Amino acid sequence: MKLIKATAEIKKDMKKHRFRGRSIGFVPTMGTLHQGHLSLVEQSKKENNITVVSIFVNPTQFAPGEDFAAYPRDFETDKKALRELGVDILFLPGGREIYPDGYSTYVEVEKPGQVLCGRTRPTHFRGVTTVVLKLFNIVTPDNAYFGRKDAQQAVIIKKMVKDLDLDVTIRTLPIVRAADGLALSSRNTYLSRDEREAALALSRGLRKAEQFVGDGLRKAADIKQIVKKELEIGELIKIDYIEVVSLTTLEPFDAGNKDAEIDVNNTLTAAAIWVGKTRLIDNFILGDI
Ligand code: PAF
């Protein structure tokens, strides 16, 4: 596995691979890799000649007061895991490499970036799309891999790719969960034992709602209510949002009509909660991103 820190160097390498006709798979990450990330890497290995992983804790997707400084970093463990999976290139840019002094260009996918997580974190997706577009320009991947836990992120990145005619295919893979149901996330490391126990209400509530939908429940408001009821049991939990939205537009089904029904082929049921100081997200999807 080749470790590259400089943009100019990886660009040269990628040019060489392209010239030789090799397909390139890319997994952008912020490190502290878990099985969710590694499943993306494994898929990229299967589908491409060359797999590139980046680790960059992107400051522009954190608002002031969020956990940029505290975000877990475990580079040695990440490097070992990626080497074992046979990753070809690990790109590790420094902050100045991505955002040199005087940097002032941002890309924003307007509408779907302002709902769900975008309401609580209004500058978050602008930071994500900016860094992802930069990384796409540097790595020039044929395929890029994202997890469906960050479903809104995947929808927004797909829209950016479509709107800006980017030459990359976005592949999304299922949420990977711990044995107790908690969706894997680098932020799970923040949770105390009690908080982790309380956090399980999130996956439990969503799973329950998914089962009801499987049994024929269609009213968006009722689906939300099932998740809410489960989350309200836990004392340590504060609900940020529970929404049932179209997977393509991210517009809520029940905005303006409390009896509205979901589209069983195109629905994202997503929730975000605070457990103590930790913000967690989870979802279930009917359809394809
Ligand atoms: O999903 C993440 O880890 C990040 O948002 C990403 C896509 C690597 C951009 O910083």
Residues 85, 227, single domain; the answer is no
List pLDDT tens digits, range 10-37: 999 999 999 999 999 999 999 999 999 9
Mean pLDDT of 166-192: 98
| Any domain includes 217 | yes
**233 alpha carbon to ligand 1 midpoint, in Å?**
31
Is the domain of 34 the same as that of 137?
yes
What separation in Å is there between the alpha carbon of 112 and the centre of ligand 1?
17
What backbone phi and psi angles, to 5 degrees, belong to 43? -65, -40
- The answer for residues whose C-beta is within 8 angstroms of residue 193's C-beta and 6 or more apart is none
Domain containing 255 — which CATH number?
3.30.1300.10
pLDDT above 70 covers a percentage of the chain that reads: 100
Q: Mark whether 62 and 92 lie in a shared domain.
A: yes
Supply the pLDDT for residue 234. 75
Mean pLDDT of all residues in 54-66? 97
Looking at 173, 207, 229, the residue that finishes a domain is: 173
**Radius of gyration from C-alpha coordinates of the chain:** 19
Residues annotated catalytic, as ranges? 37
Residue 70's Cβ-count burial label (10 Å; 0-12, 13-18, 19+) is exposed
- Ligand 1 and 135: CB distance under 6 A: no
- End-to-end alpha-carbon separation of the chain, Å? 31
pTM score of the predicted model: 0.97
How high is the pLDDT of residue 235? 85
- Asked whether residue 47 falls in the same domain as residue 151, the answer is yes
Count the neighbouring beta carbons within 10 Å of the beta carbon of residue 45: 17
Whether residue 263 is contained in a domain is answered as: yes
Whether residues 17 and 121 share a domain: the answer is yes
Ligand 1 atom with the shortest distance to the CA of 135: 9
Do 31 and 148 belong to one domain? Answer: yes
Residues in the chain: 289
Could you tell me if 20 and 158 lie in one domain? yes
Same domain, 25 and 49: yes
Per-residue b/e over 232-267, b at no fewer than 16 CB within 10 Å?
A: eebebbeebbbbbbbbbebebbbeeeeeebbeeeeb
Q: How far, in Å, CA of 135 to CA of 140, rounded? A: 8
The response to whether residue 166 sits with its C-beta less than 6 Å from ligand 1 reads no
Q: Which atom of ligand 1 is nearest to the CA of 29?
A: 8
Beta carbon of 62 within 6 Å of any ligand 1 atom:
no
Q: 103 and 152 share a domain?
A: yes
Query: Is 180 within the bounds of a domain?
Result: no
Tell me if 44 CB under 6 Å of ligand 1.
no
Which residue type does 192 have? S
Q: How many domains does the chain have?
A: 2
**Co-location of 161 and 72 in the same domain:** yes
pLDDT in tens, 225-263: 999 999 998 789 999 999 999 999 999 999 989 999 999
Q: Would you say residue 181 lies in a domain?
A: no
Q: Give me the chain's average pLDDT, please.
A: 97
Regarding the beta carbon of 128 and ligand 1, being less than 6 Å apart is answered yes
Q: How far is the CA of 173 from the centre of ligand 1 (A)?
A: 14
* Containing structural domain, residue 97: 2-173
Q: In what order do the strands lie in the sheet with 278-286?
A: 237-246, 267-275, 278-286
